[in-house]
């Protein structure tokens, strides 16, 4: 009997982590991500693992994004001494990402301690320190994709390209039990078709159990070509006013994609002759890793290299790692393109650039990435007249360009295409890594289109992988268009019913209803999520 416990990215998009255990008690982990997005959910980072990290000999890391890798230093601090199997670029990117994450953890703890001290309370410790992160890097064990490795007696694995960011992988796992082999596939984060820089996700044709992400399970992306045009238009707008172009970008992948596109504009002669600054130490380091790892590029990116160009370079590009260089950017009058982090404008140098430029009519602000509720980036997208930056109200007079087509995630169409290859092998599908509506929609469409059995696991749910039952008929016909509003309404009605029932049973103090602390956490989590949808 094989067990899979969903320790993260189940019913949410962050904290990715799955514990797989065979009947001999051998355990492997797939991902060890940080929970992100508000106090309530981030509490989970501090909770007990639910297993002994010392017992784990193998951790498969799908990619370097912090929501998949960011709890690794804590895992090592708590006793893990096994191998972290990742593709070579993932291992390299993970080093800079974990050190950066540790720095943020230390800064947050310092800030909280000062705040607590002022209130006469005790200080707090960071989730992990730079030292912990440094220590955890020792366990990174790069393995090329596409080769089968044995990690425990009876457990074999293979990494495949996931096409999401440089080095990102799908994990295929084979577990042998009583002479029968079960294959489990974890999609990790899947890229869209024709994603810049990286190759399309590897097509896999067989699995007994499939864990598929559903970040955009209910959405279709806007056209990439249109988005490219919008990007150029936004640059030309600011240049025509002699003002700056500000691009908040995630340091890993989005920043390199923007550089790639600017490089393309430069080569076809459409990029105005102005300086381009990459103003984020983490993005600079990530770009250097991208430049080194040419063998993982897709055909189009390789072709640029073969023509003698660096896909992430152009004559006017300046890297500004130091604070002095960063400050100097806004002291120079005239147009420039500034790519800086954080991607949601909540921290980092981007705040300085917004403070200097947001109030200037004629400047361009390009929002090309996901902006969570409550972030400065989201407020700018939502058209607020002014936003608070460093406790100061800054008027939004610059033109805001929200460009929707640059996502590094597969949309519903891409996800269905990838899942379709498994259809003949009839896996049971677990839909993970998505907000409720996205996961529910994708699960429903997979069921309708491929007649596969689907399930959306809850956080901490333990799945017992039993021998599969017999096959139902395959449905035919086209994909039904997604009606988000109706799906949302159905979910609300269902939730209302369940809450009413729960209230009744709680009032009756029903003995059959066993409540644990986890249940309280789960409910509080729902409450927090509702606040995100329906802000005060």
- Give the three-state DSSP class for 408: coil
Give the nearer residue to Zn ion in terms of CB position, either 93 or 155: 93
Give the nearer residue to Zn ion in terms of CB position, either 201 or 263: 201
Q: For Cα atoms 340, 344, 348, give the angle at the middle one, nearest 5 degrees.
A: 45
Burial environment of residue 319 by CB neighbours within 10 A (0 to 12, 13 to 18, 19 or more):
middle
Q: Is 181 left (phi over 0), alpha (psi -120 to 50) or beta?
A: beta
Of 92, 106, 189, 279, the residue at the interface with Zn ion (CB under 5 A) is 189
Positions in 421-440 near Zn ion (CB under 5 A)? none
Give the nearer residue to Zn ion in terms of CB position, either 65 or 426: 65
Question: What's the CA gap between 269 and 446, in Å, rounded?
Answer: 44
Whole-number minimum distance, CB 418 to Zn ion, in Å? 15
Whole-number minimum distance, CB 165 to Zn ion, in Å? 6
Q: Which stretch binds Zn ion (CB under 5 A): 184-192, 432-440, 470-478, 495-503?
A: 184-192
Give the nearer residue to Zn ion in terms of CB position, either 65 or 199: 65
In this structure, what are the phi and psi dihedrals at residue 529, rounded to the nearest 5 degrees? -65, -40
Positions in 306-335 near Zn ion (CB under 5 A)? none
Positions in 6-65 near Zn ion (CB under 5 A)? 65
Q: CB count, 10 Å around CB of 36?
A: 16
Give the nearer residue to Zn ion in terms of CB position, either 189 or 200: 189
Give the nearer residue to Zn ion in terms of CB position, either 45 or 187: 187
Whole-number minimum distance, CB 31 to Zn ion, in Å? 10
Whole-number minimum distance, CB 219 to Zn ion, in Å? 16
Alpha helices in 156-280 (DSSP H): 224-240, 254-267
What stretch of H or E contains 365?
A: strand 364-367
Whole-number minimum distance, CB 187 to Zn ion, in Å? 11
Positions in 62-81 near Zn ion (CB under 5 A)? 65
Question: What's the CA gap between 236 and 335, in Å, rounded?
Answer: 10
Whole-number minimum distance, CB 35 to Zn ion, in Å? 14
- Give the three-state DSSP class for 158: strand
Whole-number minimum distance, CB 519 to Zn ion, in Å? 30
What are the tokens at 96? 């800079």
Is 172 a residue that touches Zn ion (CB under 5 A)? no
Whole-number minimum distance, CB 367 to Zn ion, in Å? 19
CA distances from 173 to 15, 92, 148, 454 (A): 21, 23, 9, 19
Give the nearer residue to Zn ion in terms of CB position, either 189 or 208: 189
Whole-number minimum distance, CB 16 to Zn ion, in Å? 8
Give the nearer residue to Zn ion in terms of CB position, either 61 or 184: 61
In terms of Cα–Cα distance, which of 31, 70, 6, 37 is closest to 162?
31
Give the nearer residue to Zn ion in terms of CB position, either 56 or 162: 162
Query: Taking a C-beta distance cutoff of 8 angstroms, is the pair 36, 68 a contact?
Result: no
Q: What is the 3-state secondary structure (H, E, C) of 423-461?
A: HHHCCEEEEECCCHHHHHHHHHHHHHHHCCCEECCCCCC
Q: Which stretch binds Zn ion (CB under 5 A): 51-59, 115-123, 185-193, 399-407?
A: 185-193
Query: Taking a C-beta distance cutoff of 8 angstroms, is the pair 11, 458 a contact?
Result: yes
Question: What's the CA gap between 488 and 386, in Å, rounded?
Answer: 31
Give the nearer residue to Zn ion in terms of CB position, either 190 or 271: 190
Number of residues that bind Zn ion (CB under 5 A): 2
Whole-number minimum distance, CB 408 to Zn ion, in Å? 7
Give the nearer residue to Zn ion in terms of CB position, either 189 or 414: 189
Whole-number minimum distance, CB 411 to Zn ion, in Å? 15
Q: Are strands 180-186 and 169-177 parallel, antiparallel or unpaired?
A: antiparallel
Q: Which stretch binds Zn ion (CB under 5 A): 181-189, 211-219, 394-402, 454-462?
A: 181-189
The DSSP string of 91-145 is HHHHHHHHHHHHHHHHHHHHHHHHHHHHTTPPP---SS-HHHHHHHGGGEEE--T
Question: What's the CA gap between 5 and 56, in Å, rounded?
Answer: 14
Whole-number minimum distance, CB 123 to Zn ion, in Å? 33
Give the nearer residue to Zn ion in terms of CB position, either 258 or 271: 258
Query: Taking a C-beta distance cutoff of 8 angstroms, is the pair 207, 419 a contact?
Result: no
Q: Which residues bind Zn ion (CB under 5 A)?
A: 65, 189
């Amino acid at each position: 009997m094989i067990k899979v416990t969903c320790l993260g990215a189940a019913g949410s998009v962050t904290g990715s982590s799955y514990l797989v255990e065979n009947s001999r008690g051998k355990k492997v982990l797939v991902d060890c991500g940080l929970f992100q997005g508000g106090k309530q959910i981030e509490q989970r980072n501090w909770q007990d693992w639910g297993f002994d990290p010392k017992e784990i000999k193998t951790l498969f890391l799908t990619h370097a994004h912090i929501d998949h890798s960011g709890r690794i230093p804590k895992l090592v601090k708590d006793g893990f001494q096994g191998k972290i199997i990742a593709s070579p670029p993932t291992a390299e990117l993970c080093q800079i990402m974990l050190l950066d994450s540790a720095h943020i953890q230390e800064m947050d703890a310092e800030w909280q301690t000062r705040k607590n001290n002022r209130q006469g309370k005790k200080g707090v410790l960071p989730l992990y320190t730079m030292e912990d992160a440094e220590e955890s890097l020792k366990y990174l064990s790069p393995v090329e994709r596409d080769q089968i490795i044995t990690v425990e007696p009876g457990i074999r694995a293979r990494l495949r390209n996931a096409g999401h960011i440089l080095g990102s992988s799908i994990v295929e796992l084979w577990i042998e039990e009583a002479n029968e082999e079960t294959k489990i596939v974890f999609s990790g984060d899947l890229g869209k078709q024709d994603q810049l820089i990286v190759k399309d996700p590897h097509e896999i044709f067989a699995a007994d159990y499939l864990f598929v992400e559903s970040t955009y399970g209910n959405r279709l992306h806007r056209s990439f070509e249109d988005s490219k045009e919008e990007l150029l238009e936004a640059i030309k707008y600011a240049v025509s006013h002699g003002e700056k172009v500000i691009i908040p970008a995630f340091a890993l992948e989005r920043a390199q994609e923007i550089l790639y596109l600017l490089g393309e504009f430069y080569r076809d002669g459409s990029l105005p002759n102005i300086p381009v600054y990459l103003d984020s130490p983490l993005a600079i380091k990530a770009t250097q890793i991208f430049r080194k790892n040419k063998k993982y590029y897709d055909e189009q990116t390789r072709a640029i290299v073969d023509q003698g160009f660096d896909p992430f370079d152009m004559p006017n590009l300046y890297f500004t790692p130091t604070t002095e260089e960063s400050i100097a950017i806004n002291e120079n009058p005239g147009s420039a393109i500034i790519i800086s982090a954080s991607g949601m404008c909540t921290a980092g140098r981007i705040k300085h650039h917004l403070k200097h430029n947001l109030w200037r009519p004629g400047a361009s602000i390009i929002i090309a990435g996901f902006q969570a509720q409550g972030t400065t980036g989201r407020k700018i997208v939502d058209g607020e007249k002014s936003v608070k930056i460093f406790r100061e109200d800054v008027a939004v007079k610059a033109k805001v360009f929200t460009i929707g087509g640059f996502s590094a995630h597969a949309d519903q169409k891409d996800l269905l295409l990838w899942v379709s290859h498994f259809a003949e092998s009839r896996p049971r599908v677990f839909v993970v890594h998505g907000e409720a509506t996205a996961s529910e929609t994708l699960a429903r469409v997979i069921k309708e289109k491929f007649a596969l059995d689907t399930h959306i696991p809850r956080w901490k749910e333990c799945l017992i992988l039993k021998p599969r039952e017999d096959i139902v008929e395959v449905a035919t016909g086209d994909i039904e268009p997604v009606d988000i509003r109706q799906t949302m309404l159905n979910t609300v009605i269902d939730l209302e019913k369940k809450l009413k029932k729960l209230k009744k049973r709680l009032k009756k103090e029903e003995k059959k209803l066993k409540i644990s602390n986890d249940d309280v956490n789960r409910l509080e989590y729902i409450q927090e999520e509702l606040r995100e949808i329906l802000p005060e």
